[in-house]
Amino acid sequence: MPKAKPGPASPAPWRVLTWNVNSIRLRGEGVKDVVGRYSPDVICLQETKVTDDLFPHELFDTLGYTHRVIRGQPGYNGVAIASRIPFSADHRRVFCSKDDCRHIGVTLPGGVELHNFYIPAGGDIPDRTVNDKFGHKLDFVAEMTDWFAERRQRDNRIVIVGDFNIAPLENDVWSHKQLLKIVSHTPIELEAIEKMRAAHDFVDGVRHFVPADQKLYSWWSYRNRDWKASDRGRRLDHVWVTPALQDRLMAAEIYKPARDHSPPSDHVPVVVTLAPVVE
DNA sequence: ATGCCGTATGATATACGA
């Protein structure tokens, strides 16, 4: 028998994972668990909380994520993209004139732009006249809105992911009624995030598969004695795609078991699988 | 919507998360 000739390489789907790790230096075992479970092609991290020189490069090299861009600073914030797929461009943008390491992006094959965001949390009081952090959050989302509105084109292949710090839908929080005055689910934030979504007609890659009447969370506070029993979560972490990529959405999953890592992040990974982009 | 927990840093208290 002649040896089977390998056929034309059929492009594999892409698995994109986003995770607010709350310190990457504490999340080595967690990263290994998540990679073992999903083997994502691209990992987008927020709240790495580390300078670029102290980022755990060996860990990601060992796991095969040899293509990386990182944007960190001491103590707070920090984002990174670690990929098994080579990318061609390193986008990083300053929002609100503050270089506080909340965005980084790459261009993947097929001209697919992937942008990783850590939107400001916004502090405790949902009133920008007394709380600058809330103003910063609203300004940040407004600047994203303008940016995507300016760039809007029917064929744009853009994926935006990250910790948006906003739970957009009623069933993205454990109690819509009780959270309307709580930062992350106030009407002003819901309006802002919807405007941003509409700016490029983004499709929510997770709700694409999960009906809106179903509760869905990606974050549970550290301050509950038993996060699973109380289950007072919020869906703050998102993967959105432009309409040109909507038909590529194959699957979405939120990896709830990660909340039981020791030690855990208060956020869990969100994973979306995209069918190959055919030219 | 109070939990009162977890992370970070010229740390032994304080800022921040949301």
> What are the structural domains, with CATH classification, of chain A?
14-274 (3.60.10.10)
Sheet with strand A42-46: strands edge to edge:
A67-71, A79-83, A42-46, A14-20, A270-274, A249-254
pLDDT-derived band at A4, boundaries 50, 70, 90 = low
Assess whether A23 (CB) lies less than 7 A from strand B. yes
Assess whether A123 (CB) lies less than 7 A from strand B. yes
Note the strand B nucleotides within 7 A of protein beta carbons: 1-10, 16-18
Residue % of chain A over a pLDDT of 70: 95
A230 CA → B2 C1’, Å:
13
Assess whether A223 (CB) lies less than 7 A from strand B. yes
Task: Say yes or no to pLDDT of A3 above 90.
Answer: no
> Cβ neighbours of residue A255 under 8 Å, at least 6 residues apart?
A34, A37, A38, A268, A269, A270, A271
pLDDT-derived band at A54, boundaries 50, 70, 90 = very high
By C1' distance from the Cα of A179, the closest nucleotide is B1
Assess whether A186 (CB) lies less than 7 A from strand B. no
Task: Give the residue, A4 or A53, on which the prediction is more confident.
Answer: A53
Convert the pLDDT of each residue in A209-228 to its tens digit.
Answer: 999 999 999 999 999 999 99
Assess whether A162 (CB) lies less than 7 A from strand B. no
From start to end of chain A, where are the E strands? Answer: 14-20, 42-46, 67-71, 79-83, 90-91, 103-108, 112-118, 158-163, 203-204, 219-220, 233-234, 237-241, 249-254, 270-274
A205, two tokens: 């890659």
The pLDDT score that the predictor gives to residue A11 is 82
Q: Find the mean pLDDT for residues A231-258.
A: 98
The pLDDT score that the predictor gives to residue A278 is 65
Pairing of strands A112-118, A158-163: parallel
Assess whether A3 (CB) lies less than 7 A from strand B. no
Q: Find the mean pLDDT for residues A91-110.
A: 97
Task: Say yes or no to pLDDT of A272 above 80.
Answer: yes
The pLDDT score that the predictor gives to residue A276 is 86
Q: Find the mean pLDDT for residues A182-187.
A: 97
Task: Say yes or no to pLDDT of A7 above 80.
Answer: no
Whole-number mean pLDDT of chain A?
95
> What CA–CA distance (Å, rounded) separates A168 from A146?
19
Task: Say yes or no to pLDDT of A175 above 60.
Answer: yes
Reported pTM: 0.95
Task: Say yes or no to pLDDT of A130 above 80.
Answer: yes
A73 CA → B2 C1’, Å:
32
A76 CA → B16 C1’, Å:
8
Q: How far apart are the first and last CA of chain A?
A: 35
A6 CA → B5 C1’, Å:
55
Residue % of chain A over a pLDDT of 90: 94
Q: Which residue has the tokens 């028998």?
A: A1
The pLDDT score that the predictor gives to residue A8 is 61
Pairing of strands A14-20, A42-46: parallel
Cα A46 to Cα A39, A150, A233, distances in angstroms: 19, 26, 19
Assess whether A270 (CB) lies less than 7 A from strand B. no
Q: Find the mean pLDDT for residues A76-103.
A: 97
Assess whether A180 (CB) lies less than 7 A from strand B. no
Q: Find the mean pLDDT for residues A93-122.
A: 97
